[in-house]
Amino acid sequence: MKHPMILKKQTLAIAAVALAALLLTGCAGPAGGAGTAGERAAGVGGEAGQAAGAGAAAGQTAGAGAAAGQAGQEAGVKGAAAKPSGRTALTGQPIRIGAIYALSGNNAAIGTNILRGIDFAAEDINAAGGVDGRPIEIIRGDTQGDEEVARAVAKRLITEEQVHAIVGCHQSTLTEIVAEVCEEYHIPMITAISTVDSISTHHNEYFFRLCPMNSLYLENMFMYMKEQAEQTGKEVKTIAVFADNSMIGQEAIRCARIYAPQYGMEIVKEIQYGQGAADLTDEILELKAAGADAVLAESYVSDASLLMRTMYEQNYRPPILIAKANGFADPSFIPATRGMSEGVTSVVEWNPDMTKGQEINRRFKEIFGVDMNGHSAESYTAVWTFKTAFEQAGTDDGETVKDVLTKIDIRESFPDGPEIILPYDRIKFEDHEFDGVRHYHNNIYASVAIAQIQDGEYKTVWPFEYSNQRIEYPAGYENR
């Protein structure tokens, strides 16, 4: 099966526009009073951090937590100095896009990172003239990782903040709930991150998925485990699956059961654990006893970090540990595991060593001090997709924008904008079937790659035709 990713040897020629102080420009943050103080402070520093240059204190005062405070410091200290010159005047009424993610709790780091990509895209768009002269304004909502909070936040952003569209969420269970609210109020929604297959089976007319489904992630993981033998000479015959009890974790197990026999592999152990576990010792000892050729893992970032620490403590070194992105691809994962994750492989939606998006990533890193990852690159792309849809619709009417999204076909690059920086070259939402089930409004051209942590950085190692980096086998635990 030919992997569709195309890595082009080119860089973008768009102007170098850094992230401005969003409150002062009014381009990528909520209007005064929009959202709670915690939401504003948590969302990539929030307006208080950017306006005063003290985002860390603002985020902490608002109760958004340490992750939000750090993001606020990044935006406040660096954003104020990075305001672009020569900005096109924006005179129209703002197009308000709600961004609904966990900005506090265990997944705050992930939500904050996603919002970096969203705000960065809004600033780029506004610096280039907005949507036909109308600025994009990002209105943040903090789900706190809770289903009922997510529902209430979605309703508030729609009924009180009057958003015209929504991007979100990260956790698929919450995405499903927010999609129901958007359907009720006829507000178009794009998820750039949520991968659980089932959320696209409900035929919600206003819901669109940019990223691949879980099943595609899992199939690519099995393809990699099969093809890595071309380099390593070691076939994978047995696997163990390690996943939490969330919707996305359970679906990883389901998909593994589908693909394992197709690729000639046997699942010798399945371990399900409670998300947010305080201790994983028993689970790691079970994995160790199973002795599988490869471990397939699905965890959010706090659990992923705990997994690596516990494996290290128990002296367990599987020849291959392959993760389905998620927490393993979060920017905080490698620093948090301090070398214990060396050799881990993971699905990536984007990686800094890909030639696509290099100029955008350079500017992003200047502001935030970290490279883009798959989540921030996908969220950046989702905002540009909405920008294109609003312009083609010629209105902010939800039904009209929804109709445009059902027909939109973006190839290579956005009109008057950057190229698609993800590992595919086309965005088109269509209906399709998988395993006998009908799915609606998925980007059928979405694709992924595989990267391995080598010398403390993710290096793209598969598909082979797009990588010069060789796989480390067994995983480089000696570097720990």
d(C-alpha 265, C-alpha 260), whole Å: 5
Question: Within this chain, do residues 269 and 393 fall inside the same structural domain, yes or no?
Answer: no
Q: Is position 103 within any domain?
A: yes
Would you state the structure tokens that stand for residue 85, as one six-digit string? 């010159």
Q: Is position 1 within any domain?
A: no
Question: Within this chain, do residues 198 and 223 fall inside the same structural domain, yes or no?
Answer: no
Which residues are registered as beta bridge partners of 295?
240, 321
Question: Within this chain, do residues 325 and 390 fall inside the same structural domain, yes or no?
Answer: no
- CATH code of the domain containing 40: 3.40.50.2300
pLDDT band for 21, please (50, 70, 90 cuts).
Answer: very low
Q: What average pLDDT does the chain have?
A: 84
Question: Within this chain, do residues 455 and 344 fall inside the same structural domain, yes or no?
Answer: yes
Q: What is the mean pLDDT of residues 378-400?
A: 99
Query: What does the pLDDT look like over 67-111, one tens digit per residue?
Result: 444 444 344 333 333 344 445 678 899 999 999 999 999 889 899
d(C-alpha 454, C-alpha 480), whole Å: 11
Count: domains in the chain? 2
| Residue where the block lists tokens 């609210």 | 181
Dihedral sign (CA 437, 442, 447, 452): negative
Reply yes or no on whether the pLDDT at 48 is more than 70: no
For the chain, the distance separating the N- and C-terminal CA atoms, rounded to the nearest angstrom, is: 35
CB distance 470 to 231 below 8 Å: yes
Q: Is position 5 within any domain?
A: no
Q: Is position 52 within any domain?
A: yes
The dihedral region occupied by 354, where left means phi > 0, alpha psi between -120 and 50, and beta the remainder, is beta
Query: What does the pLDDT look like over 260-299, one tens digit per residue?
Result: 999 999 999 999 999 999 999 999 999 999 999 999 999 9
Question: Within this chain, do residues 185 and 228 fall inside the same structural domain, yes or no?
Answer: no
Min mean pLDDT across 80-84, 324-328, 471-475 is at 80-84
| 301-313 and 281-290 helices, crossing angle to 10° | 60
Question: Within this chain, do residues 313 and 258 fall inside the same structural domain, yes or no?
Answer: yes
pLDDT band for 476, please (50, 70, 90 cuts).
Answer: low
Query: What does the pLDDT look like over 182-239, one tens digit per residue?
Result: 999 999 999 999 999 999 999 999 999 999 999 999 999 999 999 999 999 999 999 9
Residue 51: what pLDDT?
33
Reply yes or no on whether the pLDDT at 41 is more than 50: no
Reply yes or no on whether the pLDDT at 15 is more than 80: no
Question: Within this chain, do residues 313 and 425 fall inside the same structural domain, yes or no?
Answer: no
Question: Within this chain, do residues 33 and 55 fall inside the same structural domain, yes or no?
Answer: yes
Would you state the structure tokens that stand for residue 94, as one six-digit string? 């703002």
Question: Within this chain, do residues 192 and 249 fall inside the same structural domain, yes or no?
Answer: no
d(C-alpha 223, C-alpha 232), whole Å: 14
Q: Which of 215, 280, 271 is nearest to 239 (CA)?
A: 271
Reply yes or no on whether the pLDDT at 477 is more than 90: no
Q: Which of 69, 44, 31, 38 is nearest to 141 (CA)?
A: 38
Question: Within this chain, do residues 225 and 295 fall inside the same structural domain, yes or no?
Answer: yes
Q: Is position 466 within any domain?
A: yes
Domain assignment of residue 245, given as a range: 215-348+448-479
Q: Is position 2 within any domain?
A: no
Question: Within this chain, do residues 139 and 198 fall inside the same structural domain, yes or no?
Answer: yes
DSSP string, 226-249: HHTHHHH-----EEEEEEESSHHH
Which residues are registered as beta bridge partners of 432?
439
CA 411 to chain centre: 21
d(C-alpha 28, C-alpha 125), whole Å: 9
* Cβ atoms < 10 Å from Cβ of 427: 24
Q: Are strands 207-209 and 189-191 parallel, antiparallel or unpaired?
A: parallel
Would you state the structure tokens that stand for residue 355, as one six-digit string? 């030639």
Residue 338: what pLDDT?
86
Q: Is position 16 within any domain?
A: no
pTM assigned to the model: 0.76
Question: Within this chain, do residues 180 and 61 fall inside the same structural domain, yes or no?
Answer: yes
Would you state the structure tokens that stand for residue 166, as one six-digit string? 């929504």
